[in-house]
Structure 1
């Protein structure tokens, strides 16, 4: 094509697919100024203006505003710089849209009221730092002021809700439920009782940690009893209970006697709030971790067996 060829606005519109009105707007704002004018005063554009107009259309299709486009055309910023910045902005918009989609799907699943939907939207929009502060405030309120089990508190602080950029509706739902749970005054009071009990135990010399091994022992031992249908109040439960209390006595360096069983029963009742297990279940869903099987059945069996087979007396703590 001859580089000296000039185009009218109409010809430019036919070549680019843009409307005459749009090209005139770009011309009036100086983004694609006319190269010349005809003797009759009509605007004329050269091949460079055509290329400039093609670039403007491409940048607009990509969502850039006219101020940025002008900077590109005037070579104040490079195309790669603009592309990188715009890609980052689009990524943020995509994350927002994905989050909104997940909230709407969770609302549809829950059958939420307008008030609940508003709460879900606000909670879902919290940043990672804001979610961490939310949970840390809960931990501070429930464990603050107590010399509780340091390993347990550290475990709670290390397990923060990390809602992904593209959450599933059940992850949004789990985060909302976790937020509601941690704001529940009754649950907070229950966790404070747990912290107070841990502090009292530490004051008496218990520095034995998290006792994952004991949890596994109870899970495996009682799990087998449940599998074969042994009731906690039955005579068949006695040797199972004896084996478990012996293991606790060994771990805590205590005599395996009635006092140990009363102490253990108190310990299980304080730690046995099902909402505590729900807390960890929700965290697993939010973070995409494998959700562990519930320990409630085995510890319920253990607690009932202790109540049944332990003589009644004032509990020793």
Structure 2
């Protein structure tokens, strides 16, 4: 930091300054992703300004598609000084996030194709403003009619 000591923040203050919910900050703290100074006499969790950086870094990684579990794994590996460099481990997690995103995009494209096919197949029914067209569901009893 800049050498200037600031007063500790409560979890509520950290939430206000970062825009991250108190519940999420507690989860991050419980996972060891953010360290506390301990607790106040009123039993509030207390954080230094370093927590701001941690929360922003977690947000950056989440924004890149990493899961909280992956961030926890990276942090644990780094803190345990396993000798494994952080950069390659992060690169692996980013590739995994990239693959998950590609899979979601492919699934979304399949859904778009099904919508296109459905609309082409049922163009007349979809355009019938009078509602007199037969139901496009293959139900001989009609739409929603129970016999």
TM-score over 0.5 (shorter chain): yes
- Asked if residue 94 in structure 1 is aligned to residue 125 in structure 2, the reply is no
Q: Deviations over 1:33-55 (max 9, x none)?
A: 32222122211001222211221
- Asked if residue 65 in structure 1 is aligned to residue 73 in structure 2, the reply is no
1:93 is displaced (CA, Å) by: 3.7
Runs of 4+ in 1 over 4 A off after TM superposition: 109-113
Q: Does the Cα contact within 8 Å between 1:35 and 1:49 map onto a contact in 2?
A: no
Give the number of equivalent residue pairs. 113
Q: Which residue of 2 aligns with 1:50?
A: 52
Q: Which residue of 2 aligns with 1:15?
A: 17
1:9 is displaced (CA, Å) by: 0.9
Q: Does the Cα contact within 8 Å between 2:66 and 2:97 map onto a contact in 1?
A: no
Aligned counterparts, 1:118-129, within 5 A: none
TM-score by length of 1: 0.30
Secondary structure, counterpart of 2:46 in structure 1: strand
Q: More helix per residue: 1 or 2?
A: 1
1:16 is displaced (CA, Å) by: 0.5
1:95 is displaced (CA, Å) by: 5.4
Root-mean-square deviation over aligned CA pairs = 3.2
Among 95, 113, 137, the alignment partner of 1:105 is: 113
Q: Which residue of 2 aligns with 1:25?
A: 27
Structure 1: 5+ residue stretches without partners: 114-317
Aligned counterparts, 1:70-89, within 5 A: 70-76=72-78, 78-89=86-97
Q: Deviations over 1:41-94 (max 9, x none)?
A: 211001222211221122222221222212333353614532344235424642
Q: Deviations over 1:238-275 (max 9, x none)?
A: xxxxxxxxxxxxxxxxxxxxxxxxxxxxxxxxxxxxxx
Q: Deviations over 1:97-122 (max 9, x none)?
A: 33752575277358899xxxxxxxxx
Distance in 2, Cα, partners of 1:68 & 1:60: 10
Residues 103, 23 of structure 1: alpha-carbon distance in 2 compared, 3 angstrom cutoff: closer
Structure 2: 5+ residue stretches without partners: 79-84, 122-147
Distance in 2, Cα, partners of 1:27 & 1:81: 22
Residues 74, 106 of structure 1: alpha-carbon distance in 2 compared, 3 angstrom cutoff: closer
Residues 89, 36 of structure 1: alpha-carbon distance in 2 compared, 3 angstrom cutoff: closer
Secondary structure, counterpart of 1:64 in structure 2: coil
Distance in 2, Cα, partners of 1:13 & 1:104: 38
- Asked if residue 39 in structure 1 is aligned to residue 41 in structure 2, the reply is yes
Secondary structure, counterpart of 1:74 in structure 2: helix
Q: Does the Cα contact within 8 Å between 1:72 and 1:79 map onto a contact in 2?
A: no
